[in-house]
């Protein structure tokens, strides 16, 4: 089945630094990648949608200058959290639709636990 590889799985960074999270589709081409954030005991919140070769679209309330998304190829999408602060500490997960189409489900990366100290 479709696999989305997400790295790193855990990262601890100092306040004010930037962190890059990568998601790679290993056996299919992901023209679209969705980026979610999940706080403890809460459901997934969609942050943005990245499309290969075009600008990402951000959900209301998500700062595009803080959460930089790049989808430079059909197999790689990245999320960079710039000037991270403790309130950015969360579980970040990427997701790509099945190769057969949206109706057939979405594959999630393994997630990145970001802790900003």
Partner 1 sequence: QKEVEQNSGPLSVPEGAIASLNCTYSDRGSQSFFWYRQYSGKSPELIMFIYSNGDKEDGRFTAQLNKASQYVSLLIRDSQPSDSATYLCAALPRAGGTSYGKLTFGQGTILTVHP
Positions that interact with partner 1 (CB under 8 A): 6, 32, 34, 42-44, 46, 49, 93, 97, 102-111, 113
User: Could you tell me the smallest distance in angstroms from the CB atom of residue 108 to partner 1?
Assistant: 4
Residues in a beta bridge with 77: 23
Residue whose tokens read 């949206």: 102
CB 115 within 8 A of CB 85: no
Query: CA–CA separation, 36 vs 48, rounded Å?
Result: 7
Nearer to partner 1 by Cβ, of 82 and 106: the residue is 106
User: Could you tell me the smallest distance in angstroms from the CB atom of residue 18 to partner 1?
Assistant: 23
User: Could you tell me the smallest distance in angstroms from the CB atom of residue 80 to partner 1?
Assistant: 20
Nearer to partner 1 by Cβ, of 54 and 103: the residue is 103
Nearer to partner 1 by Cβ, of 8 and 16: the residue is 8
What's the alpha-carbon Rg for the chain, to the nearest Å? 13
DSSP annotation of 109 reads P
């Amino acid at each position: 089945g479709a696999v989305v590889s997400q790295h790193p799985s855990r990262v601890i960074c100092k306040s004010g630094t930037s962190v890059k999270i990568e998601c790679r589709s290993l056996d299919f081409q992901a023209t679209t990648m969705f980026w979610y954030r999940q706080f403890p005991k809460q459901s997934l919140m969609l942050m943005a949608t990245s499309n290969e070769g075009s600008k990402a679209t951000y959900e209301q309330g998500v700062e595009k200058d803080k959460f930089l998304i790049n989808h430079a190829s059909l197999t790689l999408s990245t999320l960079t959290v710039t000037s991270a602060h403790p309130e950015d500490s969360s579980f970040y997960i990427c997701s790509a639709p099945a190769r057969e189409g949206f109706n057939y489900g979405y594959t999630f990366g393994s997630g990145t636990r970001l802790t900003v100290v």
